[in-house]
Chain A
Amino acid sequence: MLNFIVRRLIQVPLVMLALSLFIVGLTQLLTPEQRAAGYIRSDQQAARLEAIIEERGLRDPFVVQYGNWLGSTLKGDLGFSRASGQDVVQTIRERLPNTIELTLLTALPILLLGIALGTLSALHKDKLIDQILRVLTIIGYSLPTFVLGIVLLAVFYGYLGWLPGAGQVNIINQFALGDLRHYTGLLSIDAALNGRWDIAWDVLQHLILPAATLTVVSTATIVKVMRNNMLEALTSDYVRTARAKGLADRVVNNKHARRNALLSIVTLGGFLIINLLSGSLITEFIFGYPGVGLWMVEAGLRLDIPAVLGFALLSALIVVVVSTVVDILYGVVDPRVRFD
């Protein structure tokens, strides 16, 4: 097991190196003018285009440009992100905990709801409850995130006024944030640890709509997969044997059938968490939620190359770490899986 983890961790720098080479290589397909356009915002700055190209060495050979980037990166300097107005490292340090907070609040309901509803649907195959769940799943699956997000925002914030709008906290709490001592980086938890329950509650309220959007959209996939897996498991020989032995339905369904059906959910759950941690781009954008996803959208729009590279490296790290955890969990769910 330890060997497996070490092997995986060794892969991280190699994956990152290959990825950075690929991305910096891709940027070379753009002309120096196109890359320099990311540094300008107005016609007046456009007048300085050539000077910007010269100053940034955008006409230098690929090897020189990549070497410069790698040299700084190895010193821990990933450059300055124009999309965030901060250094890339500082941006990630500030925004990743926000995305983790959203992931924590979202992933568990998605997985639990998906597994429960998928199981329920399979156990009541073709009955009314199954039909309803299947229709809801198709709706959830087909609903574009930006449509759902805006509708939820318009109804629960704009019309009913039950929930707050965009951002992470209300105006009244914005100024208080500077006084908080940060322990975990997760704002709701840090606020609670500081005894500021009002801020913690405010943060949680702001998380409800983005979390609900993600939950509706992502749960549908898990329900679909779980239902299919359960149906397959319920008709398998070992389930039939278990029933023949006289085991109670509940035990057969939960312990025998569902455990096997969960195997692909573990994999799917891994992808889900990778997606959530890598930033739920559209959701964070709609709700102005200051996570890495929102940063990435802006970085992409502004051709903020240091940010794109930094984000790609972060994503690679997340993928390798989460995949490793998923593989370990796989072994826990299915003891036949070995790591040697």
Chain B
Amino acid sequence: MKKFALLSTLLLVGSAFAASPKDTLVIQESADIPTLDPGVTYDTASGAIVENIYETLLTYKGNSLRDLEPLLASKLPTISNGGRTVTFDLRKNVKFHTGNAMTCRDAEYSFERNLVTNSAESGNWFISESLLGTGSNANDDKTITWARIDKAVECNNAGQLVFTLPKPDPAFLAKLAYTGQSIVDSKHAISIGEWKGTEADWKNWVGKDLTGSNLNKQPSGTGAYRLVRRDANATLLQAFDGYWGKKPAIKNVVIQKVPEIAARQQAFLRGDADIIEGGGRSVDEQQIKGKPGVAWLDNLPNTSAFAIFMNQKIQDPALLGSGKLDGKGIPANFFNDVNVRRAFSHAFNYQQYIQDVQQGKGKQRTMLLPDTFPGYDSEVKTYSFDAAKARQYFQRAWGGNVWKNGFTLTANYRAGSVPSQTAMEILKRNIESLNPKFKVNIQQKQWSEMLADSKKGREAVILIGWAPDYADPDNFLYTFYSSNGFYAPRSNFKDASVDKWLEQARATVNTAQRNRLYSLVGNRVYEQAPYINVPAPVAYTFFRNNLQGVSAATFNPMTSFSYTGTLWKDLSKK
């Protein structure tokens, strides 16, 4: 008995130390952190750490996605030469974690390094589009020379950073706020074996994957936190004493990797973790919300957009059945008729999807653009579920042959994705209920195959989405609606007016003019219905209630640390 008592005491002593200390932020998540090198950061798990170690020239102001403010720049840039020259004054007395002073050369090196490497895994293609006029690197595009890279970003005699763009890019400043465009410590990087920053070895670094680079192992930024140690179990960071800004209240940050959700939930409910990766709205509402010590913040903005694609030129004969409008299949250009697309758009029950998939927390958007983004027009009409209208449009489609003969269609959804499966089931049921001759087969497909096939136009109806790289409408609207956009081969939607307006909008820096053009696009795509606009989920977060600094007023969805929508330096604990 005595032995048992001793053991219990020792165990209790041990567990007494477990709770998360006041100056330490403890985060438990299942995600791995692929890299800490900004040059290849293109995922939120890496970005959430990189954005606290490094800093960009500009950042988003508070929770706004429309207003930018200087960070490592001392003020907003001067734009001249018809929008082609962008000049930055840099903040003085800024130090890197190594103690090196930040100079213009570091900024120049950082951008040149991104342009030189521009590996497939990175998000540097979009900065390259702005600065070199192409998203490719020098391996894929032989017109890219060292001279062009060198000229694109330079330091002038006044120590200012000067970008020279081949043509004006209204999204350029928003692109600079992306974590991947952070300023790195060039002296340190070169000393640990990264690119030397000169023409001498630039060719060796073209397309190089920096995920496991030396800079990933030994990062040095100007951010409020510096990396202390990284092991299989945890990533540890500490407030940087030499930080130029306000001293953070949280001294230590520990990111623990706990793959099992039950273990994370236990730690969170006991207060050993301040923030954990949840298990989706239904799980979190049931198991976390309302429990003692838990703070729950709902109705937060969401910046992803999902659509059901209706391919107007289906390249896979296997999905076409007979390939004719004889009730046993569809022609490859079945969705070419706007009446079919409108009928499908009216056949989707948006409210049911919001209820079934999003537990009532969803929002129907007017266009495939987050409603918090600049350029969003809330006045554009939206489709609603209306069986009568759907029937009407089907009766008009293909000269009445769709209604008369019926069709058999095969739609694929991403294997394992419950929202995609539910959306397809809703669509199937509603369409089949309109006419006994209508048949929609749904089948699951592996993501990788779906990506590859859809790119070749080999999918008929699929649900896919887009999340932003930077807060500019072009990143969504061009992607979805332009016939030169990323999703064009998947939808084969082409509308001359939409194309013209989107090209005009990406060539002007006049915000009012751009907004007008995007409204025109919104209204036109409502009429043309190239996609079924799937309701967007409403975001939420939860955290221990002694954590301060998290609120709707401070939550910025472009921050990679999406648990709080803030940087760690803006948090504190009671």
* Chain A residues with a Cβ under 8 A of chain B: 31, 33-34, 36-37, 39-52, 54-55, 80, 82-87, 91, 94-95, 98, 150, 153-154, 157-158, 161-175, 177-178, 201-202, 205, 285-288, 290, 294-295, 297-298, 302
In angstroms, Cα B256 to Cα A175, docked, is 12
24 interchain pairs, CB-CB under 8 A = A37-B451, A39-B120, A39-B121, A43-B465, A45-B43, A45-B121, A55-B119, A55-B209, A84-B32, A85-B33, A85-B34, A86-B212, A87-B212, A150-B263, A165-B263, A166-B264, A171-B20, A172-B18, A175-B228, A175-B229, A175-B252, A178-B229, A286-B263, A287-B263
In angstroms, Cα B216 to Cα A87, docked, is 12
Contacts of B34 in A (CB 8 A): 41, 82, 85
Range for the number of chain B residues in contact with chain A: 35 or more
Within the complex, the shortest CB–CB distance from B412 to chain A, in Å, comes to 15
Closest to A34 in B: B448
Inter-chain contact A158/B452, CB cutoff 8 Å? no
Closest to A302 in B: B32
- Choice from A55, A150, A162, A285 contacting B11 with Cβ under 8 Å: A162
* Chain B residues with a Cβ under 8 A of chain A: 8, 10-12, 14-15, 17-18, 20-21, 24, 26, 28, 32-35, 42-45, 119-121, 123, 125, 140, 207, 209, 211-212, 216, 228-234, 236, 238, 252, 254, 256-260, 262-264, 266-267, 269-270, 272, 446-449, 451-452, 455, 464-467, 469, 486
What 8 A-B pairs have minimum CB-CB distances, sorted nearest first? A37-B448, A51-B120, A290-B232, A33-B452, A158-B266, A288-B258, A166-B263, A80-B212
Within the complex, the shortest CB–CB distance from B206 to chain A, in Å, comes to 10
In angstroms, Cα B23 to Cα A172, docked, is 11
Inter-chain contact B263/A42, CB cutoff 8 Å? no
Inter-chain contact A43/B466, CB cutoff 8 Å? yes
Contacts of A34 in B (CB 8 A): 446, 448-449
Contacts of B32 in A (CB 8 A): 82-85, 298, 302
Dominant secondary structure of chain B at its interface with chain A: mixed
In angstroms, Cα B267 to Cα A175, docked, is 19
Inter-chain contact A288/B18, CB cutoff 8 Å? no
Inter-chain contact A178/B228, CB cutoff 8 Å? yes
> Given A163-B15, A171-B24, A290 and B233 touching (CB < 8 A)?
yes
> Given A91-B232, A178-B229, A162 and B8 touching (CB < 8 A)?
yes
Inter-chain contact B270/A167, CB cutoff 8 Å? no
> Given A168-B233, A171-B18, A171-B21, A294 and B259 touching (CB < 8 A)?
yes
In angstroms, Cα B207 to Cα A49, docked, is 14
Contacts of B18 in A (CB 8 A): 164-165, 170-172
In angstroms, Cα B42 to Cα A43, docked, is 11
Inter-chain contact B42/A42, CB cutoff 8 Å? yes
In angstroms, Cα B262 to Cα A286, docked, is 8
Inter-chain contact A165/B266, CB cutoff 8 Å? yes
- Choice from B212, B234, B262 contacting A85 with Cβ under 8 Å: B212
- Choice from B14, B252, B449, B467 contacting A201 with Cβ under 8 Å: B14
